[in-house]
Amino acid sequence: MNRRRFLKKSVAATTVIMGSGLMLSSCKKNLRSELMGIDRLSDKSDQMDHDVYKILYYASLAPSGHNSQPWFVKIISKTQWIVGADADRRLSQVDGSNREAMLSLGAFIENLVQAANAFGYAVETKVIAKDRFAADVVKINLLKSKVLEIPLQRILTRRTVKSHFQSKELRLSDVNDFFQSVDGHLFYFPTGTDHAKLMDKEAVDNYIIQSNNINAMEELAFWIRFKDDDAKKFRDGLTVDGMEITGLAGWYVRNFMDNKDVMTQSFSDKGIEKTKEQVKEGAGWLVITSDGNTVKDLIETGRRFQRMALTAREKMIGIHPMTQALEEKQGQKNITENHEASMIPQFMLRVGYLDKYPDPVSLRRPVEWFVRS
């Protein structure tokens, strides 16, 4: 660390101790509510058909690895679209096979279908991609139909939650509802069971493996938006709020860290500590499986995951995907070998009841940014 940087950081550390009033006010800001909102969509109706815009807005609230938002949409006509995978948004280091990109596209399509149904369209979807690297992935056809009563509020208020999970086990009725929402492709391992312990260990071990992989860390650094100005400029990636770096630490990171700091040992160490804390909380692990590994299987699995996440939102249950074990060879092997031979795990999710479901904070690109005509 050079002298200027050292001084900057020392001043920051002193200010952390002294300036709590300022910090608390800077922690309260929610960029998502400042920049995005369904109520602002009416201004857009002159540029694009209002229904098209709204449906795609809801679709874009889908979760994605590193919040990379790997989608684009080609509008062929008002009712015919193609949802594709943007090659510039690939996570080639941690998701070399584009598995997670396809799962994220599946979540996008689930939101799209639910929003379209709520606005009075039936939706036909057809997977057209020959493989996971094809640009055009799913063809969408909208047909005017009756309005279905679908609670879109769930899409607006769902988010990834990583902390403050209660430790009590999931109720059987909730597990059953989850089971139904993923068409039976689910395992639940309550906290303290041998299997949950194995998953705790794999989550931490593989997080450590990835922290030591310079390429994976460079990729992570690329998607991190420590500064509000960057977050506003790109409207994607992982913000300080999204990573749940809160309070004084959040204020410090926002004001005094930059993307190069992601490559430091201290950043890795904090991440490892946090991961160890996280696996101690909650009701255990959910694993969503798939029938196969084709694009169709992955899109379907992403849709199931999103259906379950929306059900969880209604039930005040937090869901935290912890994916490193499925991204690393060692983790894949250990997780798969400790399940039934035929099982294909696609999501490893830590879950838990929440006293209060926090507001969403992660940003999304505006619809115009991902629509191609």
Ligand X SMILES: Cc1cc2nc3c(=O)[nH]c(=O)nc-3n(C[C@H](O)[C@H](O)[C@H](O)COP(=O)(O)O)c2cc1C
Question: What residues form DSSP beta bridges with 345?
Answer: 289
Q: Does 191 bind ligand X (CB under 6 A)?
A: no
Contact 302, 309 (CB under 8 A): no
Distance CA 352, CA 165 (A): 5
Contact 248, 12 (CB under 8 A): no
Find the shortest distance in angstroms from Cβ 268 to ligand X.
15
Near ligand X by CB under 6 A, which window of 41-49, 267-275, 282-290, 319-327?
319-327
Find the shortest distance in angstroms from Cβ 316 to ligand X.
15
Near ligand X by CB under 6 A, which window of 13-21, 44-52, 96-104, 123-131?
96-104
Q: Which of 273, 271, 287 is nearest to 198 (CA)?
A: 287
Distance CA 373, CA 371 (A): 7
Find the shortest distance in angstroms from Cβ 290 to ligand X.
12
Find the shortest distance in angstroms from Cβ 162 to ligand X.
6
Phi, psi dihedral angles at 164 (to 5 degrees):
65, 35
Residues of this chain, 58-87, that bind ligand X according to CB under 6 A: 63-65, 67
For 34-58, give the DSSP string. Answer: HH--GGGGGGGGGTS-HHHHHHHHH
Q: Are strands 284-290 and 186-190 parallel, antiparallel or unpaired?
A: antiparallel
Contact 285, 199 (CB under 8 A): yes
Q: How many other C-beta atoms lie within 10 A of the C-beta of residue 4?
A: 8
Q: Does 103 bind ligand X (CB under 6 A)?
A: yes
Nearest residue (beta carbon) to ligand X: 63
- Pick one of 322, 335, 351, 367: the residue that binds ligand X (CB under 6 A): 322
Q: Does 345 bind ligand X (CB under 6 A)?
A: no
Q: Does 160 bind ligand X (CB under 6 A)?
A: yes
Residue 79 or 318 having the CB closest to ligand X: 318
Q: Return the sign of the alpha-carbon dihedral for residues 255, 256, 259, 261.
A: negative
Q: Does 282 bind ligand X (CB under 6 A)?
A: no
Q: Does 323 bind ligand X (CB under 6 A)?
A: yes
Q: Does 224 bind ligand X (CB under 6 A)?
A: no
Contact 250, 270 (CB under 8 A): no
Residue 283 or 321 having the CB closest to ligand X: 321
Query: Which residues contribute to the site for ligand X (CB under 6 A)?
Result: 63-65, 67, 100, 103-104, 107, 159-160, 162, 238, 242, 320-324, 360, 362
